[in-house]
A and B are shown apart, each in its own frame.
Chain A
Amino acid sequence: MTEAVAIENLSVTFTGGSKPVRAVDGVSLSLGQGEVLALLGESGSGKSVTLRSLLRLHPPKRSRMTGSIRVAGRDVLELSPGELADFRGGVVSMIFQEPMLALDPVYTVGAQITEAIRRHEKISAADARKRALALFERVRIPSPDRRLDAYPHEMSGGMRQRAMIALALACRPSVLLADEPTTALDATVQIQILLLLRELQRELGLSIIFVTHDIGVAVEIADRIAVMYAGRVVESGSVRDVIRGPRHPYTRGLLASRVERAQKGDRLETIPGSPPDLTALPPGCAFAPRCSLAAPQCREIVPPLAEVGPAHTAACIRVAETV
């Protein structure tokens, strides 16, 4: 499998506040051609920041990125402003969490799609509209011709997310980034959008990085899962390995605290404590203060990701205890 995306030792620090915040700390990830990777984690774990780094969407004055991100053989962090603009939407595009906020409210959705197409390709307005219409049919928006002239506020949440997907696919990107695209939707609509994404992924051979905090969603759509905690990847592997045999105590805690499994009257399992303050991370493993297996050594060194099975890694020095 050839690599569509290779992230090496990526760190992102936000310097806008009073103290620098290291939101992503030495993340390495790879994504094969036509593969779907789910980034799983709680809010503040750095999953969205990692995703946005792929398009360099962080404000350049208030953030610092180190490491390398290679997409289709080019290092994203080295692109010039002009190259970056061509790269965004053309090679890699993104679906946002809240289409209501991510679409410009004073332009029709059709105008926003044709604008993207004409930004990347020299074609007439009429041809661009035809493309947009075909895209709307593809994402199964009913009466697509009329919907192209609708404003975002005139559509339902599910329709808006479909329009957002159409917009993201407008310039035939090879990598799609999805930032919790189903979180803001009703449960029934969530499933429809997931099915649509999976279908489009198969038909177009897209590589997708899918950020979610919902394990069920990750299982539904992904080939591989990477679990993030406090800006670091703590475990990664195939969906099957990670879900059936989680090795990092944090992943185990996450899986145990799912509500779907619980019976009425059961005590819900939780992970004690709360995620660490990113401005003041503990010196060792960031999860150690909440971990029931933590040993003195855990508080001293940051455990590296180590192989715990075929294509399955976990960043824990006590993996022997978690078999």
Chain B
Amino acid sequence: MLLYILKRILYVLPVAIGVSIVCFLLVHITPGDPLTAVLPVDATLELQQQMRALYGFDKPLPVQYGLWIWRVVQGDLGASIATGRPVTSEVFNAVKNSLALAAAATLIGFVAGAGLGILAGYFRGGWVDRIASFVSVLGVSVPHYWLGMVLVIIFSVQLGWLPATGGGPQGSASRSWDWDYLRFLVLPAVTMSVIPMGIIARTVKALVGEILNQEFVHALAAKGLTERGVFRHVIKNAAPTAFAVMGLQLGYLLGGSILIETVFSWPGTGFLLNAAIFQRDLPLLQGSILVLALFFVFLNLTVDILQAAIDPRVQRA
């Protein structure tokens, strides 16, 4: 097992280096100079040169990459052009918020999706299956920004139970885990959870159906196990794949929540990326994309290792 973990980590290194190169080059693919957006239109050539030298844009690309990666390794992603604040802390604050939102959404989606999936798989073809399948298809197909607005209308505007926007009563900086903060999380998390719920429900339904058709389920019944005893085996067989799908969903939610974070003004990475793109804040954009990409790599690594720990057959593949 230890050897397997080491091997997986070793495989990740080239991927991480590749990701960093892509992130770095991204800035230089965009037409024009990264600085033209922030410099006043009438800036003198001299001032432009001076700024270029200051940000290091006058050096050849490989040197620039070397310098950049050297700083990145030390945890310095540069400063935001728009606000002047260090990118590292901006990104990590946003990541924390997105992580909280994505984790809550995945948890809700996993519990609801796995429940629906198991019901549908066990009662295949019956009305329970049809209802569960309908709900899961709905979850995948409903546009979530629309669902978000509908939920806001119902629960914030009409009923007034939950806040519509924001990360907490005093912003997200002084986050604590009491109800005052958590109530801000409820609507965006529920809105976001319908996607993983639908996908996990469909995966689990297919898994359970497939496992129930396998010979070993008959063999378990043949040795006298009751429905409940067999159920335990079905769950443990379905778990590795279900968790892998959940991990991937968590990953998607971390990067793909721009719409929901914008609808609910949730101060996460989607919100940050959105701002960075519209303000042409390239260091911020570069930094947040790098952090997010590395996060995906790390997530896949964790899922791989967890899967091997649950299902011993994975290690051999």
Contact = CB atoms under 8 A, between A and B. Distances in A.
Interface stretch (A93-101, A205-213, A225-233, A257-265): A93-101
A140 interface: no
A26 B311 CA distance: 45
Which of B214, B216, B223, B229 has the largest count of A CB atoms less than 10 A from its CB? B223
Contacts of B214: 101
Interface string B283-317: 00000000000000000000000000011110010
Nearest to A167: B223
Contacts of A171: 223-224
Interface in A66-96: 81, 85-90, 93-94, 96
A105 B237 contact: yes
A103 interface: yes
A86 B223 CA distance: 9
Nearest to B312: A151
Interface string A11-52: 000000000000000000000000000000000000000001
Interface of A is mostly: helix
Interface of B is mostly: helix
A85 B222 contact: no
A85 B313 contact: no
B219 A102 contact: yes
A116 B224 contact: yes
A202 interface: no
Contacts of B183: none
B215 A104 contact: no
Contacts of B221: 55, 57, 88
Which of A52, A106, A120 has the largest count of B CB atoms less than 10 A from its CB? A106
Nearest to B212: A59
A125 to B, nearest CB: 15
B11 to A, nearest CB: 23
B225 interface: yes
A115 interface: yes
B226 interface: yes
A64 interface: no
Nearest to B236: A106
For chain A, which range describes its interface: under 10, 10 to 19, 20 to 34, or 35 or more residues?
20 to 34
B280 interface: no
Contacts of A107: 233, 236
Contacts of B229: 115, 119
Contacts of B223: 88-89, 93, 115-116, 119, 167-168, 170-171
B220 interface: yes
A106 B237 contact: yes
Which of B219, B236, B316 has the largest count of A CB atoms less than 10 A from its CB? B219
A313 to B, nearest CB: 30
Nearest to B316: A153
Interface in A150-176: 151, 153-154, 167-168, 170-171
Nearest to A108: B312
Nearest to B225: A119
B218 interface: yes
A101 B222 CA distance: 14
Given A98-B215, A104-B233, A151 B313 contact: yes
A67 B220 CA distance: 26
Contacts of A96: 215, 218-219, 222
B216 A102 contact: yes
Contacts of B312: 106, 151, 153-154
A139 to B, nearest CB: 16
A94 B219 CA distance: 8
Interface in B213-247: 214-216, 218-226, 229, 233, 236-237, 240
Contact of B216 (A57, A94, A104, A120): A104
Contacts of A104: 216, 219-220, 233, 236-237
A313 B240 CA distance: 54
Contacts of B313: 105, 151, 153
B224 A85 contact: yes
Contacts of A81: 226
Contacts of A55: 221-222
Given A106-B233, A106-B240, A171-B223, 16 more contacts: A52-B218, A55-B221, A88-B222, A94-B219, A96-B215, A96-B219, A101-B216, A102-B218, A103-B216, A104-B219, A106-B311, A115-B223, A116-B224, A119-B223, A119-B225, A168-B223
12 contacts: A87-B224, A88-B222, A88-B223, A89-B222, A89-B223, A96-B219, A102-B216, A104-B236, A104-B237, A115-B225, A116-B225, A119-B224
Interface of B: 214-216, 218-226, 229, 233, 236-237, 240, 310-313, 316
Interface of A: 52, 55, 57, 81, 85-90, 93-94, 96, 98, 101-107, 115-116, 119-120, 151, 153-154, 167-168, 170-171
Which 4 A-B residue pairings sit nearest by Cβ, starting from the closest? A89-B224, A89-B223, A101-B215, A102-B219
